[in-house]
């Protein structure tokens, strides 16, 4: 591209947004970056690790992934974690959010067989982080279920999975909890349940939309609550840490000011987010009422004997609600929502249960991921909505980021971070929302699920053609480093 075109593109990119605000993040605000086990580790069958559903899925259905890619080697962090920690140290981040691979620790999924090499790997990672002054933020489940548990039905098998997850969580707390003070049980369980057991496009590829996807969510929510109570009863007094569950959502903006569009947008966020967030984070607990009512009504019309949405007993509602120490929120983009009449009865689905129309405005800037448009103001609205709906919790943004083709001169990512962080800061300083941390997804380019290695989210570039998986800082790494060091989004802040 000739320099004039580059300049023109840069000006257009920047002028699409208002100036970032010139005030500083509060002193106690925490910045971090994140990755997840399957996306970066590799070493898929090394040193006693068991097979998980993503190993199985990518090996069995290679054509479902862009360029038939898989996570067999990924960024090779299983061997190169010390290099990752040098990168984190250079960025100056306060914490690193990563996930444990369940099948690296428990190859068969249950605590009857523990893989010591897997335990040692995570102990080494955690020790090296702490030695470098970086807090480990650990997710127990970032989508990589041990395959033997899938063969027993996986997440829709509530009776089996709640207890097995709780055993795994207890083991993790006891092995690593002296050093790990921030735990996340599940990451974005909606993707596990709706993409994995509803549409069947993610591992394990089960198509049971609006049936098993609801059962999966029911299990996950109960499993989270049980893990939280285990922490509370057996570990909190001695370890003094915090436990949360990561829930994700886009912002949903009504397509017009009409009552119907506003109602449609609210219904969409309740189904998309309230589904997981309400039982845990809402003062009343339980699924959102609109979801309970609509799924019951449609199930009846479809001829089901009872609602496809499982019910919590009053005891379960009480047991689950309040099982969090802070609110973990992942968010990337926004959608517009339009009212629709109820979709016709016939095809049983979660989308039919919601019955709204969503779309993204064609004027919004794009990324390398079809779903990810750049809509920074949506995030400010979302965190205000979360604050109001869930009674002013402490919020940590546990993921936010931008994809491109992997270029080192990644101006699009810099603009994204600058604008999103500016909106988050305005929510803190002007709207009084209690956001205390921010996590850039991702530390480095990695395996982006169905997108394979074609959608790059990293602050560091990884050369996947080089067996050394060489890491190189992008321009955005310098930008983020400066933000972390100065707490300021522009060259000079006012305070
Ligand atoms: C959410 C997921 O937690 C993560 O695994 C994924 O790579 C990013 N979003 C980007 O899609």
Protein residue whose Cα sits closest to atom 6 of ligand 1: 448
User: CB neighbours of 381 closer than 8 A, spacing ≥ 6?
Assistant: 251, 253
| Token pair in block for residue 105 | 């620790």
Residue 185 domain-assigned? yes
Angle at 244 between CA 238 and CA 250, to 5 degrees: 165
Q: What is the DSSP letter of 26?
A: P
Q: Which of 399, 419, 448, 455 is catalytic?
A: 399
For residue 187, how far is its CA from the centre of ligand 1 (angstroms)?
A: 9
Q: If residue 184 lies in a helix (H) or strand (E), which one and from where to where?
A: strand 182-186
Mean pLDDT, the chain, rounded, equals: 97
| Number of domains comprising the chain | 1
Span 43-102, pLDDT tens digits: 999 999 999 999 999 999 999 999 999 999 999 999 999 999 999 999 999 999 999 999
- Indicate which atom in ligand 1 lies nearest the CA of residue 36: 5
For residue 344, how far is its CA from the centre of ligand 1 (angstroms)?
A: 33
Q: Please determine, for residue 3, whether its predicted confidence score (pLDDT) is greater than 80.
A: no
Report the alpha-carbon distance of residue 262 to residue 268 in Å, rounded: 10
Report the alpha-carbon distance of residue 182 to residue 484 in Å, rounded: 20
Of 242, 294, 221, 232, the closest CA to residue 264 belongs to: 294
User: CB neighbours of 387 closer than 8 A, spacing ≥ 6?
Assistant: 393, 395, 427, 431, 433, 434
Residue 242 domain-assigned? yes
Span 308-335, pLDDT tens digits: 999 999 999 999 999 999 999 999 999 9
Q: Which residues pair with 242 in a beta bridge?
A: 182
Q: Which of 194, 250, 441 to mutate to test the pocket of ligand 1 (most atoms within 8 A of CB)?
A: 441
- Indicate which atom in ligand 1 lies nearest the CA of residue 451: 11
Quick one: pLDDT at residue 278?
98
For residue 410, how far is its CA from the centre of ligand 1 (angstroms)?
A: 19
Protein residue whose Cα sits closest to atom 5 of ligand 1: 36
For residue 331, how far is its CA from the centre of ligand 1 (angstroms)?
A: 10
User: CB neighbours of 2 closer than 8 A, spacing ≥ 6?
Assistant: none
Is 51 a catalytic site residue? Answer: no
Q: Which of 201, 397, 448, 452 to mutate to test the pocket of ligand 1 (most atoms within 8 A of CB)?
A: 448
Residue 1 domain-assigned? no
Protein residue whose Cα sits closest to atom 7 of ligand 1: 448
Residue 8 domain-assigned? no
Residue 10 domain-assigned? no
Residue 4 domain-assigned? no
Torsion angle in degrees (nearest 10) through CA of 52, 53, 56, 60: -170
Residue 388 domain-assigned? yes
Q: What is the DSSP string of 307-364?
A: -SSPPPPHHHHHHHTT--SSEEEE---EEEEEE-PPPPSSS--HHHHH-EEEE--TTS
Which of 466-492 are b and which e, b meaning 16 or more Cβ less than 10 Å from the residue's Cβ? eeebebebbebbebbbbbbeebbbbee
- Indicate which atom in ligand 1 lies nearest the CA of residue 457: 10
Q: Which of 37, 449, 453, 454 to mutate to test the pocket of ligand 1 (most atoms within 8 A of CB)?
A: 449
Domain that holds residue 257: 16-486
Banded model confidence at residue 130, pLDDT cuts 50, 70, 90: very high
Other CB atoms within 10 Å distance of the CB of residue 256: 12
Report the alpha-carbon distance of residue 109 to residue 146 in Å, rounded: 5
Q: What is the DSSP letter of 451?
A: G
Q: Is the Cα dihedral 178, 184, 187, 193 positive or negative?
A: positive
CATH of the domain at 300: 3.20.20.80
For residue 448, how far is its CA from the centre of ligand 1 (angstroms)?
A: 7
Angle of helix 116-131 versus helix 158-176 axis, rounded to 10:
50
- Burial of residue 22 (number of CB atoms within 10 Å: 0-12, 13-18, 19+): middle
For residue 244, how far is its CA from the centre of ligand 1 (angstroms)?
A: 18
Quick one: pLDDT at residue 12?
63
Report the alpha-carbon distance of residue 50 to residue 147 in Å, rounded: 8
Q: Please determine, for residue 7, whether its predicted confidence score (pLDDT) is greater than 70.
A: no
Report the alpha-carbon distance of residue 80 to residue 41 in Å, rounded: 9
Banded model confidence at residue 340, pLDDT cuts 50, 70, 90: very high
User: CB neighbours of 172 closer than 8 A, spacing ≥ 6?
Assistant: 100, 105, 138, 140, 183
Residue 459 domain-assigned? yes
Q: Which residues line ligand 1 (CB under 6 A)?
A: 36, 39, 187-188, 330, 399, 441, 448, 457
Quick one: pLDDT at residue 129?
98
């Amino acid at each position: 591209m000739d320099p004039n075109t580059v300049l023109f593109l840069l000006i257009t990119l920047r002028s699409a947004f208002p100036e970032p605000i010139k005030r500083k993040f509060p002193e106690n605000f925490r910045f971090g970056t994140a990755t997840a086990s399957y996306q970066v580790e590799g070493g898929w069958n090394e040193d006693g690790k068991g097979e998980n559903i993503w190993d199985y899925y990518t090996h069995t259905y290679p054509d479902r992934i862009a360029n038939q890619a898989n996570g067999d080697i990924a960024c090779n962090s299983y061997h190169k974690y010390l290099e990752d920690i040098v990168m984190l140290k250079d960025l100056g981040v306060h914490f690193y959010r990563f996930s444990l691979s369940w099948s690296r620790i428990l190859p068969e999924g249950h605590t009857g067989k523990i893989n010591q090499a897997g335990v040692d790997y995570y102990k080494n990672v955690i020790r090296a982080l702490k030695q470098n002054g970086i807090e480990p933020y650990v997710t127990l489940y970032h989508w990589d279920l041990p395959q033997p548990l899938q063969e027993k039905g996986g997440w829709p098998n509530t009776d089996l999975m709640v207890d097995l997850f709780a055993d795994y969580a207890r083991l993790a707390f006891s092995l690593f909890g002296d050093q790990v003070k921030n735990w996340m049980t599940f990451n974005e369980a909606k993707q596990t349940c709706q993409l994995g057991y509803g549409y069947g496009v993610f591992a394990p590829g089960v198509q049971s939309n609006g049936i098993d996807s609801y059962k999966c969510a029911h299990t996950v929510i109960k499993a989270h609550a049980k893990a939280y109570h285990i922490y509370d009863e057996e570990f909190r007094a001695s370890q003094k840490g915090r436990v949360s569950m990561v829930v994700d959502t886009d912002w949903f903006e009504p397509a017009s000011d009409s009552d119907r569009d506003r109602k449609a947008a609210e219904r969409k966020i309740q189904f998309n987010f309230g589904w997981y967030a309400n039982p845990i984070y809402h003062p009343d607990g339980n699924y959102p009422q609109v979801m309970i009512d609509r799924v019951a009504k449609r199930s009846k019309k479809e001829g089901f004997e009872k609602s496809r949405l499982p019910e919590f007993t009053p005891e379960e509602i009480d047991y689950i609600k309040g099982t969090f120490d802070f609110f973990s929120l992942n968010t990337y983009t926004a959608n517009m929502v339009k009212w629709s009449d109820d979709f016709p009865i016939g095809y049983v689905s979660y989308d039919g249960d919601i019955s709204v129309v969503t779309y993204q405005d064609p004027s919004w800037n794009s990324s390398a991921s079809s779903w990810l448009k750049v809509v920074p103001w949506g995030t400010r609205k979302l965190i205000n909505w979360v604050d109001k709906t869930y009674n002013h919790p402490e919020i940590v943004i546990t993921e936010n980021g931008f994809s491109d083709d992997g270029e080192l001169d990644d101006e699009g990512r810099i603009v994204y971070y600058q604008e999103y962080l500016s909106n988050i800061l305005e929510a803190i300083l002007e709207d009084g929302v209690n956001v205390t941390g921010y996590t850039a997804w991702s530390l480095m380019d990695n395996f982006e699920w169905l997108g394979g290695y074609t959608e790059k989210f990293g602050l560091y570039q990884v050369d996947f053609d080089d067996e050394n998986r060489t890491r190189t800082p992008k321009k955005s790494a310098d930008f983020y480093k400066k933000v972390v060091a100065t707490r300021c989004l522009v060259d000079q802040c006012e305070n």
